[in-house]
């Protein structure tokens, strides 16, 4: 007797197979013609904020452009990376930056969500050889945004020069 789930059980547990059975873009909740049937709507793009953009928000600085502010206001949830927390902590420890001790709590209070940095994000850093020699924190953030399919909001001219449509200028 074979050990493990039956092939039918695997199909039931696989969400991709479930989506394929339901049809592209259609989620069924009830029977045919049920008013609870809904068409999949495009999900709003989720954004990841560069560390300096987080600092501008934290300090209430007016450097953030109106378009960028609108992106943050309308694309919930906005995320900040664990890499940014790491960067701010290290730079504070070596005296290059001053931030309040409760910065992470304040980010949470304004509705920002923290995005963990995982091995796949580190591996994605290889896709940006043009950032060799650039700030490793920035390279990690760009790779994380790319791996997750996020819009990345920054004012860093070198990152904006990558000319990727998902890297957006925070000053406009």
Q: By residue range, what is the domain housing residue 18?
A: 7-39
82 in the same domain as 29: no
137 in the same domain as 115: yes
Q: Is residue 16 part of a domain?
A: yes
Provide the token pair at 24: 């592209």
Q: How many domains does the chain have?
A: 2
83 in the same domain as 143: yes
Q: Which helix (H) or strand (E) holds 39?
A: strand 38-39
Task: Compute the distance between CA of residue 99 and CA of residue 87 in angstroms, rounded to an integer.
Answer: 11
Q: What is the pTM of this model?
A: 0.72
On the CB side of 128, CA atoms within 13 Å amount to: 29
19 in the same domain as 53: no
Taking every pair of C-alpha atoms in the chain, what is the biggest distance, in angstroms? 68
Most confident range (mean pLDDT) of 12-26, 32-46, 63-77 is: 63-77
Mean pLDDT, residues 1-26 taken together: 37
Q: Which of 37, 39, 12 is nearest to 24 (CA)?
A: 39
* CATH number of the structural domain spanning residue 96: 3.40.50.1010
Q: Is residue 110 part of a domain?
A: yes
Question: How many CB atoms are closer than 10 A to CB 97?
Answer: 14
Let me know: does 132 contact 27? Beta carbons within 8 Å: no
First to last CA, the chain: 65
Report pLDDT digits (tens) over 99-121: 888 888 888 888 889 999 999 99
Q: Is residue 2 part of a domain?
A: no
Q: Which of 111, 1, 115 is nearest to 51 (CA)?
A: 115
74 in the same domain as 109: yes
pLDDT more than 70, % of the chain: 73
């Amino acid at each position: 007797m074979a050990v493990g789930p039956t092939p039918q059980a695997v199909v039931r547990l696989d969400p991709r197979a479930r989506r394929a059975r339901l049809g592209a873009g259609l989620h069924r909740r009830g029977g045919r013609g049920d008013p609870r049937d809904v068409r999949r709507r495009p999900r709003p793009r989720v954004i990841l904020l560069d560390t300096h953009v987080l600092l501008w928000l934290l300090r209430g600085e007016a450097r953030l452009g109106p378009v960028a502010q609108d992106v943050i206001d309308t694309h919930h949830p906005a995320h900040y990376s664990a890499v940014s927390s790491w960067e701010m902590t290290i730079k504070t420890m070596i005296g290059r930056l001053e931030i309040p001790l409760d910065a992470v709590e304040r980010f949470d209070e304004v509705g920002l969500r923290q995005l963990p940095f995982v091995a796949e994000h580190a591996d994605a850093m290889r896709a940006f050889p043009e950032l060799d020699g650039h700030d490793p924190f920035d390279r990690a953030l760009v790779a994380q945004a790319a791996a997750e399919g996020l819009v990345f909001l920054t004012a860093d001219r070198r990152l904006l020069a990558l000319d990727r449509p998902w890297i957006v200028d925070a000053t406009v």
